[in-house]
Amino acid sequence: MLLQGKKILITGVLTPQSIAYGIAEHALAQGADIILTGFGRARSLTERSAKRLKPGIEVLELDVSKPEDFAALTASLREKWGRVDGAVHSIAFAPEDALGGNFLNTPWESVQTAFRISTFSLKELAVAVAPLMPSGGSIVTLDFDNNIAWPIYDWMGVCKAALEATVRYLARDLGPKGIRVNALAAGPLSTVAAKGIPGFKSLEQAWSRQAPLGWDVRNSHETVGRTACALLSDWLPSTTGEQVHVDGGYHSIGAPPVDPSQDDPPEAKPAPTGE
C-alpha cells in the first residue's frame, strides 16, 4: 500500500462530497493514519464525516485566520504522533463580492480575506508541519489552474495564481529539508464550495465537452484522491514545485472540438482563365 504507516494531516473535509474527503478515504485505504482539522460551526460536519470515514479519527481545531491555531496544531500533532509525513491543504474561501463578475468593484477587505484564507494559509500550514518532518515529507495543496482568466472566478482566480507561486517558493525553501510541495489542479467537481460559485453549471458543461478524456463533476473525486495519494507517497521523491493536472486533459486543449461539417460551404470561385 502506498501510504502504509504514513501520518497524514488533512484539512478541508466537510461532507462526503468534499474533495478532501475523497483524499482521506483513499489515504486510509492505502494504509495511512489520518487526522482532520475543522473549526467553528462547520467542525460538526467534519466530525460527522470523520466517523463515517473511520471511527476514532480525531479532528483538531484550525481556523486559518488565527495564528495561535497553527501553533496549537503543531503542539497537538507533536504530542499525538511525534511526526507528520504528509499534509493536505484543501482550504479556500472568497466573500460573495469577490466572485461572479464583480472584479472591478471588489473592495480590498474582501480581497484580503480571500488571500489570507486561500493562499497565505498554505504557507502557515507548511510552517506548522515542517518541524514535524525531520526525515522529509510531502505537502499537497488543491488548486484550480489559473494561467488564464476565467469568466466567473475573479479574485479567487488571483488567489489561486498566487497559490501556485507560493508552492514554488515553499518548494525552494523546504526542499533542502526533504519536504516536497506540490499543487494538484483538479477540474471542476460538485462540492459544497462549488455551489457558491456563480455560473458553475456552465463551466462544468464546457469542461466535459473540451476534456479529451472526458470529465464527470460528480464521479471524478476518485481520480483526484488517487493522484493526491501518489503525491503524498514515496513514489515521486524528486517531484516538487509542480502543478499536477487532474482535469481530463482540459488544460491542454485550446477550444472544444469542432465539427467542420457544420461550417458554411465555401463560395464558388470562377475558374482561372489562361492568357
* 64 is known to lie in a ligand binding site: yes
- What the block records as the C-alpha cell of 157 is 482566480
Give the H or E element holding residue 179.
strand 179-186
Residue 37: left (phi > 0), alpha (psi -120 to 50), or beta? beta
- What the block records as the C-alpha cell of 128 is 506548522
Q: CB-side exposure of 39: number of CA atoms within 13 Å?
A: 12
Q: Is 153 noted as a catalytic residue in this protein? A: yes
Strands 59-61 and 86-89: unpaired
Residue 245: left (phi > 0), alpha (psi -120 to 50), or beta? beta
Classify the C-alpha dihedral 215-171-109-107 as positive or negative: negative
Identify the active-site residue in 6, 7, 160, 250: 160
* 224 is known to lie in a ligand binding site: no
Q: Is 66 noted as a catalytic residue in this protein? A: no
Q: What is the DSSP string of 207-256?
A: HHHH-TT---TTT-HHHHHHHHHHHHSTT-TT--S-EEEESTTGGG-SS-
Identify the active-site residue in 123, 153, 201, 250: 153
Q: What are the beta bridge partners of residue 25?
A: none
* 160 is known to lie in a ligand binding site: yes
Query: What is the Rg, in whole angstroms, of the alpha carbon atoms belonging to the chain?
Result: 21
* 63 is known to lie in a ligand binding site: yes
DSSP label at 188? -
* 18 is known to lie in a ligand binding site: yes
Residue 112 makes CB contacts below 8 A (sequence gap 6+) with: none
* 69 is known to lie in a ligand binding site: no
Residues of the binding site: 12, 18-19, 63-64, 91, 94, 160
Residues of the binding site for NAD(+): 12, 18-19, 63-64, 91, 160
Residues of the binding site for substrate: 94
* Active site members: 153, 160
